[in-house]
Amino acid sequence: MRLTQTSVYALDRLAEPSPDFYTIQNRAASELGTTLHYRQIDVRDVTKLNEIVKDISDTEGRLDGLLAAAGIQQETTALEYTAKDANLMFEINITGVFMTAQAAAKEMIRWGNGGSMAFIASMSGTIANRVCNFFHSPFFMSRGHGPAAASDLCSSSSTLPALCQSLTESSSGPHLSGVQRQ
């Protein structure tokens, strides 16, 4: 079996990736023979999201997988959350992840090669998080994305999505509007 070069695309809200991205990009190339690319996108802009995913698919001649890890948090108690705060979190953490899965599934189906999807959700979906209690609900709801994407979006040649739990903080976090650090 002949292995081909792998291309990985990171999509994020920031206009430019963090400096760590370039270190990882260089290591991916030198140690793994993998190219790592960056595309700026706010997943709430579904038209642009679909355009970017299609452009990636057209550039590579295929789309084999998606690792969806979109997620923002705001360290605010449930009593202090506003509707605007909650809607922003839901739009990114739930709707944005689903729209990303939909865009990827469309391309996987278009190429007829199947593919795999994995969704990373915070451990806050299943256990208490003292710092931001309201933060739990979007991640609990995102646990349903895998089965929904598998049954509604993916072709029979696609792998059922997996769900991983994690607690991560990316460089995007401090740049989000309304984020309150304690």
Provide the whole-model pTM. 0.76
Domain boundaries, the chain: 7-175
The per-residue pLDDT for 168 is 42
3-class SS letters over the chain: CCCCCCEEEEEECCCCCCHHHHHHHHHHHHHHCCEEEEEECCCCCHHHHHHHHHHHHHHHCCCCEEEECCCCCCCCCCCCCCHHHHHHHHHHHHHHHHHHHHHHHHHHHHHCCCCEEEEEEEHHHCCCCCCCHHHHHHHHHHCCHHHHHHHHCCCCCCCCCEEEEECCCCCCHHHCCCCCCC
Residue 74 has pLDDT above 90, yes or no: no
pLDDT tops 90 at residue 129: no
List pLDDT tens digits, range 87-100: 998 898 888 988 99
Mean pLDDT across the stretch 28-46?
A: 95
Mean pLDDT (whole number) for 159-168:
45
Query: What pLDDT does 162 receive?
Result: 47
Measure Cα distances from 61 to 58, 104, 113, 145 in Å: 5, 13, 11, 26
Q: What pLDDT sits at residue 8?
A: 95
pLDDT at 181: 31
Q: Is 70 exceeded by the pLDDT of residue 147?
A: no
What pLDDT, on the 0 to 100 scale, is given for residue 149? Answer: 57
Q: What is the pLDDT of residue 75?
A: 77
Q: Mean pLDDT throughout 10-26?
A: 94
Please list, in sequence order, all residues whose beta carbon lies within 8 angstroms of the beta carbon of residue 43, skipping any fewer than 6 positions away. 11, 13, 49, 70, 92, 95, 96, 97, 99, 100
pLDDT at 167 over 50: no
**Contact (Cβ atoms closer than 8 angstroms) between residue 64 and residue 115:** yes
Please name the CATH architecture into which domain 7-175 falls: 3-Layer(aba) Sandwich (3.40)
Is 111 within 8 Å of 154 (Cβ atoms)?
no
